[in-house]
Structure 1
C-alpha cells in the first residue's frame, strides 16, 4: 500500500480552520502500542488542504479515533492468529445471534462478546471456543441445549433452527469447496497460469465480497473480468496474483476455471434472474464479511480495480478486456498465462 492515499473528499466542520469546507479523508499505515507490542495498522485521518500551519494540517474525529483503535487491535489479533472483531460478528451473523446470545451460549458473562467486539482482545482459549461455534455447528447445538434454560422458548427455537440450517448449509459449502479444489488439482504449485499464487479461497471470497460491496448491480460476467484485472494488476506490480485463479480465453473475455462454483462461496449471495437471453447471476456480498484474508497491499490493488470499473456496464468491461494483449495473444479455451500481463493497461 502507498504511504497514504485519498479515500474521499467530505464537507464537514474543520477544527483547524474553524469553518465548514471540504477536507480529505485519507488512509496510511500507522503504528500503535498494543499489549507492549508495536503494531502496524491502517490508520484513517482527515487532512485539511487549507491549513496554513504545516505542523498541524490533519485531525481525527471521535468516530475515526474509535475506528483506528479497532483497526490496531484487529491487526494485533491477526498477527497472533486470533479472530478479529469483524470475524466474531460474522460468526454471530451465521446464526442470527446477538452479542449476549453468543456469550450465554458459551456460558460466559453477557457482555463478554460485546467487549471482544469493541475494546478487549480475547485470549487463545476463548478464541478457540468462539471458532468452534463457527466450524462445528454440532458443538453450537450442544452448547445451546446445555444453556436452554437461559433462553426463552421462542429464542431457543429460533437459534436451534438457525444452527440446524448451518449444519445443512456447511455440508453444501464443503461439497462446493471440494469441487473447486478438484478443478484446481493440477495447479497446486505456483506457476505462470495461476500467477505464482496457489488458489486461496479465503482471499477469493474476500475479493469478490469487496467488489460486490463496492459496485451496485454487480453481475457474474462483470465480476469475472474484475477478478482477472485484480489478479493481473497484482501480478504486474509484485509478480504474484491475489486469488490463485486460473483464467481461460472465452467469448466474453477471461473466465476463471470453476467460475460457476466460486460465486457460491459463503461470502456471497446469488440471485438467479431469468431473462430471454438466459439466466443472469446477480451477485451481492453477505453482511459483515471480513476482509482480513487480504493484505493492505492487496486491498489497495482491488480498490483500484473496483474504482475503475464500478460504473462500467458489463459490455464496457468486456470490450476493454478484449483489447488487452493477454486476450489478443491467446486463443479460445486457452489458459491465459500471467506473463502476458506485462502490457496491462494503466490504472
Structure 2
C-alpha cells in the first residue's frame, strides 16, 4: 500500500448536509444530529449548507449551542479555504443567506431558490470530490415550484444534475438485517405506472440495486425479491398482464446477468418474515406499494438512499413537519440514521 493511499484512508470523511426548507424542521434536526458528531462519527467532518443566523436560532430552540458546535467561529464559507472546509473544524457552515426571513411553520416562495441553492452547492462539491457524501434534510416541493422552478423531488433532481439516466429510490430501516425497499417508479400518478414499466428499465433498475448493494453496503450476493404490479401478482393474467409481459421477462434477463432477483410475488403477502429473512431488498413497482410497509416498520429511523448516482446521497424518511418546526418536539432519529448510512457507504467506497 502506498503512502498516498494510506493518507487517503486516514483522512476524515467529508459529509455535506443540506438543511432543506427553512420553515421546516431541517435546520434544528441538523443541529440535534450533529451535537453528538464527535462521539458518533469520529472519522467524519461535516459541512452544513444553510443560513448561519437561522441555524443559530433553531439550535437555541432545541438547546444546542451552535457556536460551540462549529468551533466557536463564525462561518466563512468554503471560498476562504480554497474550496474545502477547514481541516481542523469538525462541523463547518457553508453560509448561504436566506432570500427573506424564515418563520417556523410558514412557507414562503421567496426562499424556494435558496433551498435549491443549498442542494446545488452540495451536489457540486460532491461531484468535484470535495465531499464523500451528501445528506439532505427535507424540503418542500411546493415552495420550489411556487418560486417558478419545476421540481418533482430530490431523487429526480439529483439524477438531472449529475447527468444520470436512471436512479433508484431505496428506503431502508436499521438493525442487523434491515428492511430495504426500492422502487421501480417514483413520483408518478398511479394511472401512469403501468406504461412506465418496461422490461429493459426493470433490468437496469435491478442491475443498479445489485451493483450498489455490493459496492456501498458490502453485500457479496444481494438477494432481491420483486413484487407484481397487480393484485395477486396478476392472477395468471386474469387481473392484468404486466407480470407476464414485463416483470417475469425482466427477471429472466436479470438472472442471465448474474443478479439474484426473484418473483413476481403478490405485494400483499410478500412482506412477511418468512420471505424477508433471506432477502436483502424488495423491489416494489410503485411508491405507495412498498413504502407504507417500510415506513410502518421503521418510521423515524428510516433512511432514503438514491442508488445509481456517481455520488452518495442519503436523506430522512419524513417531510418538513411544519407543525413541529421550532417547537423542539421533532425527532432527529431519521437524520442520524441517514448520516450513519452515508458515513458507512463512504467508508465502503474508500475500502476502509
Scaled by the length of structure 1, the TM-score of the pair is 0.29
The higher relative CO (CA closer than 8 Å, separation ≥ 6) is in 2
Q: Who wins on radius of gyration, i.e. which is larger?
A: 1
TM-score, length-scaled by structure 2? 0.29
More helix by share: 1
